[in-house]
Amino acid sequence: MPHFVLEYDARNPQSIESYAKRLIGKTFTDVCNEDTVNDVIVINDDYEESHKDKKRKGGLGDLIEERFFHYKCNSDSRPDFPDAGVELKVTPYKENRDGSLSAKERLVITMIDYFNVVNEPFEESHLWNKARLILLVYYLYQEHIQDRLDYKINYAQLFTPPEADLAIIKQDYDKIVSKIKEGKAHELSESDTLYLGAATKSSDSTVRREQPYSDELAKPRAFSFKTSYMTYVLNNYIVPGKNTYESIVEGDIGVDFESYITNRIGAYKGYTVSALCKLLNIVYDKPPKNLGSLIAFRILGIKSNNAEEFAKANIITKTIRIENNNTIKESMSFPTFKFNDIVLETWEDSTFGNYLRETRFFFVVYRFNDNHELVLQGSQFWNMPTKDLDEVQKVWQKTVDVIKEGVQITEKNGKRFNNFPGSSENPVCHVRPHGRNANDTYPLPDGREYTKQCFWLNNDYIYNQLDDELKSESQ
């Protein structure tokens, strides 16, 4: 214990929070410069240099623990302030170009012990012991600042997940634990769940751990609040401001969230789009491009497309149209990638890989009937299975190799062709143009300009992911 008197009561959450608010407006350099009484650690010339190293993931949090709260950071499994039951988390956020704020990364709570977690009900779990009361210290990440000790701290506040969120967090926990009990810890994916994820947690992507009900080794994972959930927490619980989202669920729904949603949508199976528009007071004369998803949100009682639960869980709505010959005409596109950026990535930390690993999709499915009218089939929540992510990695890697080696462009009958992986080369995805036209380009590493490209999920792959009842003709 320090020989000097702490300026806060380590047994009192409110005292800890009040003291933490002194951090607001300070940089991490300021914290170090103002710490003149520290005797819990040895401060040497390398201290600040090592803590500002971007490869040291918890470096800034360690600094706040030791230089501001004056306790030695440790590997104790209890909350950081055990007598108060408060866990300290120092986490970055960023300002987007439109002025909005978003969390920069997920909030890792604690490692998942595959052998112990299967015997821990949520209320008695190590996770909940850490997450029931968190002191969130948010600092502003700015790309142009090279020395991260110069990042400024702007928010410090206690946070407990509210009851509405907690119900879904418990469901997420149970889903993760159930998969481990089934001997499928190696198949866990962050996109399996809504607010609470099982994020990979290792500096070496080859590391594997044993699991209790299978001989298959699994990646080390940690319970974490997803980036999307932390963005919602920042904007609605931390930063004063107007809530721009509408909630789908009010009160106890009696079933899990996803079943509640699909049941609501399923009640309208067999309705044509024109009939639904009339029923839901949607102007059909000039249908918007997002009409399919708009209908679904209207059924769920949402006037806009900003559903609170979807925002928190990073659920992306995709409309799927099945032709009456049991095919899907269109493949599913994703945002364009910049050639000069993707070649600097690794698969484990790639933009597209992380998107698929972290995103849960909500498919709203329609089918053309014999009169070529679109008919609602229902809906489905989906995330990409681990084995299919391995196929995506092959396409991603070939794409990177093609760019690095130089894109080969040929012309035939007035059309341009390239050697990016096409839809016939992989069962899951491919690469093709996604610009407004051929002149909508990004620069290549060799200085040439080339039409913007993006990854697409193959149309037949998407069709095969749909539940059988969504493929069958409406009765």
User: HEC string of the chain?
Assistant: CCCCCCCCCCCCHHHHHHHHHHHCCCEHHHHHHHCCCCCCCCCCCCHHHHHCCCCCCCHHHHHHHHHCCCCCCCCCCCCCECCCCEEEEEEEEEECCCCCEEECCCEEEEECCHHHHCCCCHHHCHHHHHHCCEEEEEEECCCCCCCHHHCEEEEEEEECCCHHHHHHHHHHHHHHHHHHHCCCHHHCCHHHCCCEEEEECCCCCCCCEEECCEEEEECCEEEEECHHHHHHHHHHHHCCCCCCCECCCCCCCCCCHHHHHHHHHHCCCCCEHHHHHHHCCCCCCCCCCCHHHHHHHHHCCCCCCCEHHHHHHCEEEEEEEECCCCCECCCEECCCECHHHHCCCCHHHCHHHHHHHHCEEEEEEEEECCCCCEEEEEEEEECCCHHHHHHHHHHHHHHHHHHHHCCCCEEECCEEECCCCCCCCCCCEEEEECCCCCCCEEECCCCCEEECEEEEECHHHHHHHCCHHHHCCCC
Residues of the chain with pLDDT under 70: 1-4, 37-58, 241-244, 284-287, 474-475
Q: Which CATH number fits domain 257-471: 3.40.50.300, 3.40.600.10, 3.40.50.1370, 3.50.50.60?
A: 3.40.600.10
Q: Specify the pLDDT at position 329.
A: 92
Return the pLDDT at 4.
61
> Would 13-238 and 257-471 be classified into the same CATH topology?
yes
Q: What is the pLDDT of residues 203-253, one digit of tens each?
A: 777 899 999 999 999 999 999 999 999 999 999 889 876 555 788 887 777
Round the average pLDDT of the chain to a whole number and report it.
90
- pTM for this model (two decimals): 0.81
Residue 202: its pLDDT value, please?
Answer: 80
Percent of the chain with pLDDT over 70: 92
Predicted confidence at residue 1, as pLDDT, reads 45
Residue 49, pLDDT score: 61
What's the confidence (pLDDT) of residue 456?
97
**CATH class of segment(s) 13-238:** alpha beta
Per-domain residue ranges for the chain? 13-238, 257-471
